[in-house]
Amino acid sequence: MPASALKPPADGSVSSHPDAFFDAIILVSFGGPEGMDDVMPFLENVTRGRGIPRERLLEVAHHYELFGGVSPINGQNRDLIAALRSELDAHGIDLPIFYGNRNWDPTLPDALGAMRDQGIKRALAIYTTGFSCYSGCRQYRENIYDAQQALGDDAPEVLKVRMFYNHPGFIAANVDIVTRALAEIPAERRDAANVVFTAHSIPGPMADASKYELQLRETARLVAEGADVAESRWQLVYQSRSGAPHMPWLEPDICDHLPALKEAGVRDVVVVPIGFVSDHMEVLFDLDEEAKLIAEQLELGYVRAPSVGTHPLFVAMLRELVQERLDPALPKRALGDLGPSHDSCPVDCCKPGTGKPSPWEPGAADWQPPARPGQPGRPQ
């Protein structure tokens, strides 16, 4: 498709509307099953084209069985939409809010179709992540583009708010959360407790093609400073690794890090899922089941702080990000040394690290992943 025919969020697209014109908001998220019958179809959606063995899918499906096959992410997103609706109403912003997922109902094609049917022309997307990487940014843009292509020429344009990893509201919400979690540790041991920030691990090549690690470390630093946690008492680690074992992913894993802390003489930890905005399945299983069990076996004091969820400071921050786009003259607040993130992604931003082109790029339809050493290429 020629660049002149592209519409946002594709690279090289040109909007048909003024910069400050938006007639809707859409919350864009990952999605999750809402019953046992949904679990395997959901996991197949998530892993399609990645060559994940069925045995691994069945293993992950067991995680969902522990919770009745229901991922809390959809309910948490609906709660966030309700909180944001109240916040927007309180500030005179009457834009409708839609909701669309990458992997399960309500899907992005359904959400954009509903927007089109209601006459929406240009929506502002809020992704449920504050950090830049392929799976947390560019891939959502690709998903939106695919939905637009399925709907046709009258599909709405979709732009996004900036990444908010260093926004004062996000930092303040997490400072409050960490401070409350530290208060659960006995007073005589509190000053020696370590704070362990966690985020979703991603493949090394994907991390190399983005600012994911840099942004996570900046967020952790700002939150630790705000909660008066010394640099020697906090660490950034990762969780939820998946994918082929030959591919390097970001480390250390939380389950490897806890024994190392115990060995170093640490008695108590506060674990903070800083890379997530809701307590969805990966938080509940990886931190509240696996990591907690390891801590118990080590006799390590363990407090798991909640994610920001619907914290009032976080919801107010989302409203502020919307206001920024409605009125470009408003200041873009940011803490630390990195400044506010961009509104529109650069052409080379957040590539997957595999060489795979985005669907609007030349050669996308014919691209095939390279064969691993000793393996044949994918059948044509």
Q: How far apart are the first and last CA of the chain?
A: 23
Mean pLDDT of 288-302: 98
Q: Closest Cα to residue 18, out of 377, 374, 344, 325?
A: 325
Note the pLDDT tens digit of each residue in 58-67. 988 988 998 9
Residue-wise burial string across 160-185, b where 16 or more C-beta atoms lie within 10 A, e elsewhere: bbbbbbbbbbbbbbbbbbbbebbeeb
If pLDDT is split at 50, 70 and 90, which confidence band does 371 have? low
pLDDT at 338 over 70: yes
What is the spatial distance between Cα 365 and Cα 54, in angstroms, rounded to a whole number?
26
Predicted pLDDT of residue 48: 84
What is the spatial distance between Cα 168 and Cα 259, in angstroms, rounded to a whole number?
33
* pTM assigned to the model: 0.94
Domain final residue pick, 270, 304, 338: 304
Domain final residue pick, 304, 329, 347: 304
Instruction: Give yes or no: residues 178 and 263 share one domain.
Output: yes
If pLDDT is split at 50, 70 and 90, which confidence band does 306 have? very high
Instruction: Give yes or no: residues 157 and 268 share one domain.
Output: no
147, 110 in Cβ contact below 8 A? no
What is the spatial distance between Cα 324 and Cα 319, in angstroms, rounded to a whole number?
9
pLDDT at 357 over 90: yes
Mean pLDDT of 282-292: 96
Q: Residue 205 sits in which domain range? A: 168-304
pLDDT at 274 over 50: yes
If pLDDT is split at 50, 70 and 90, which confidence band does 3 have? very low
At 29, is the secondary structure helix, strand, or coil?
strand
Instruction: Give yes or no: residues 152 and 203 share one domain.
Output: no
Neighbours of 36 (CB within 10 A): 13
If pLDDT is split at 50, 70 and 90, which confidence band does 56 have? confident
Looking up residue 235, the CATH number of its domain turns out to be 3.40.50.1400
Instruction: Give yes or no: residues 224 and 294 share one domain.
Output: yes
What is the spatial distance between Cα 268 and Cα 229, in angstroms, rounded to a whole number?
14
If pLDDT is split at 50, 70 and 90, which confidence band does 243 have? confident
% of the chain beyond a pLDDT of 70: 96
Kindly report the average pLDDT of the chain as a whole number.
94
Predicted pLDDT of residue 370: 75
At 101, is the secondary structure helix, strand, or coil?
strand
Predicted pLDDT of residue 2: 43
Q: Closest Cα to residue 15, out of 125, 161, 157?
A: 157
At 289, is the secondary structure helix, strand, or coil?
helix
Q: Does residue 380 belong to any structural domain of this protein?
A: no
Instruction: Give yes or no: residues 114 and 130 share one domain.
Output: yes
Instruction: Give yes or no: residues 157 and 11 share one domain.
Output: yes
Sole residue written with tokens 């939409």: 81
pLDDT at 372 over 70: no
Mean pLDDT of 234-240: 97
pLDDT at 373 over 90: no
Instruction: Give yes or no: residues 199 and 263 share one domain.
Output: yes
Mean pLDDT of 25-40: 96
Domain final residue pick, 261, 282, 304: 304
What is the spatial distance between Cα 121 and Cα 308, in angstroms, rounded to a whole number?
31
34, β-bridge pairs: 70
At 16, is the secondary structure helix, strand, or coil?
coil
Predicted pLDDT of residue 52: 79
Hey, what's the torsion of the CAs at 368, 370, 374, 380, to 10 degrees? Answer: 10
26, 101 in Cβ contact below 8 A? no
Side chain identity, residue 78: R
Hey, what's the torsion of the CAs at 26, 272, 168, 184, to 10 degrees? Answer: 120
Domain count, the chain: 2
Mean pLDDT of 298-323: 98
What is the spatial distance between Cα 244 and Cα 261, in angstroms, rounded to a whole number?
28
Q: Does residue 375 belong to any structural domain of this protein?
A: no
If pLDDT is split at 50, 70 and 90, which confidence band does 114 have? very high
What is the spatial distance between Cα 38 and Cα 270, in angstroms, rounded to a whole number?
33
Q: Which two tokens stand for residue 138?
A: 């560019």
255, β-bridge pairs: none
Half-sphere exposure of 140 (CA within 13 A, CB side): 25
**Phi and psi at residue 15, in whole multiples of 5°?**
-75, 150
Mean pLDDT of 185-203: 98
Mean pLDDT of 342-365: 94
Q: Closest Cα to residue 196, out of 216, 211, 172?
A: 216
pLDDT at 239 over 60: yes
What is the spatial distance between Cα 251 and Cα 203, in angstroms, rounded to a whole number?
10
Instruction: Give yes or no: residues 148 and 275 share one domain.
Output: no
